Amino acid sequence: MLSLRKGRYRARFAENAADIEAAQRLRTRAFHGEGAEQLDADHFDEICKHVLVEDQRNGALVCCFRFLPLSRGSDIARSYSAQYYELSALEAFEGPMVEMGRFCIDPEVRDPDILRVAWGAMTAYVDAEGVEMLFGCSSFHGTDAEAYADAFAMLKERHLAPKRWLPKVKAPKVFRFAQKLRRKPDAKQAMLRMPPLLRTYLLMGGWVSDHAVVDSHMNTLHVFTGLEINAIPPARKRLLRATAG
């Protein structure tokens, strides 16, 4: 069982249908806005483990995400990401993997400790289960690629996946930033426009696909993101484990 408490916040696994519905309601607000009629739910909710980050003062849910454990790369076709990316290269990955998805923080709460606790919970799970790769879709809000030109240029310059793992195009509408962009990134603007979750992945040595999927349903641009646990710098691992302890 996952149980992590740091400062005001605690992280735990969802224990029942009510917990999962609470996560779905937070996702609905975060991804689709207040007043959205349709609950953010899909069939992956039934096969995933859901992590809730709550404010210990009042029990309010402030963050959630879900894990899909896979025993090895040959199972990757079962993942959510496989709907959007051709992932046959990763079928050769031999170790345990976890897809992390539907990560969101309450839009009305601004506290960097929430992300720290979330990563602490992920680290505790990865260590306990011997996970060797984390992966998922990292999303930019909206579908205007030009608004994120510096961020995509930085991804192209510094963070593309190794060729042996590089996802291929599968989705009908994509932005091939590695092919199209010729600009030198403004590092400050790039980091300002980079989603916080993706920024953290990159700081740990994560990598991305060479294209972004244009997801009109979710109103996002997203890139496939991978993180090989053995590639995380030792100093960063120590920080993560201190948070998870």
- Residue 226: beta bridge partners? 135, 207
Q: What is the CATH number for 93?
A: 3.40.630
Is residue 39 in some structural domain? Answer: no
Is residue 96 in some structural domain? Answer: yes
Predicted confidence at residue 34, as pLDDT, reads 83
Domain containing 102 equals 66-244
CA distances from 133 to 101, 117, 122, 128, 164 (A): 14, 20, 12, 13, 14
DSSP code at position 16:
S
Is residue 102 in some structural domain? Answer: yes
Which pLDDT tens digits describe the chain residue by residue (245 residues)? 677 888 899 999 999 999 999 999 999 999 988 888 899 999 999 999 999 999 999 999 999 999 999 999 999 999 999 999 999 999 999 999 999 999 999 999 989 899 989 989 999 999 999 999 999 999 999 999 999 999 999 999 999 999 999 999 999 999 999 999 998 999 999 999 999 889 989 999 999 999 999 999 889 999 999 999 998 888 887 877 776 66
Predicted confidence at residue 244, as pLDDT, reads 62
Is residue 199 in some structural domain? Answer: yes
Return d(Cα 130, Cα 121) in angstroms, integer. 14
Tokens of 163: 């060729």
Predicted confidence at residue 104, as pLDDT, reads 95
Contact in structure between 104 and 62 (CB atoms under 8 Å): no
Is residue 86 in some structural domain? Answer: yes
Is residue 158 in some structural domain? Answer: yes
Predicted confidence at residue 236, as pLDDT, reads 80
Is residue 44 in some structural domain? Answer: no
Predicted confidence at residue 1, as pLDDT, reads 67
Instruction: Give the chain's domain count.
Output: 1
Is residue 49 in some structural domain? Answer: no
Q: 59: left (phi > 0), else alpha (psi -120 to 50), else beta? A: left
Contact in structure between 234 and 242 (CB atoms under 8 Å): no
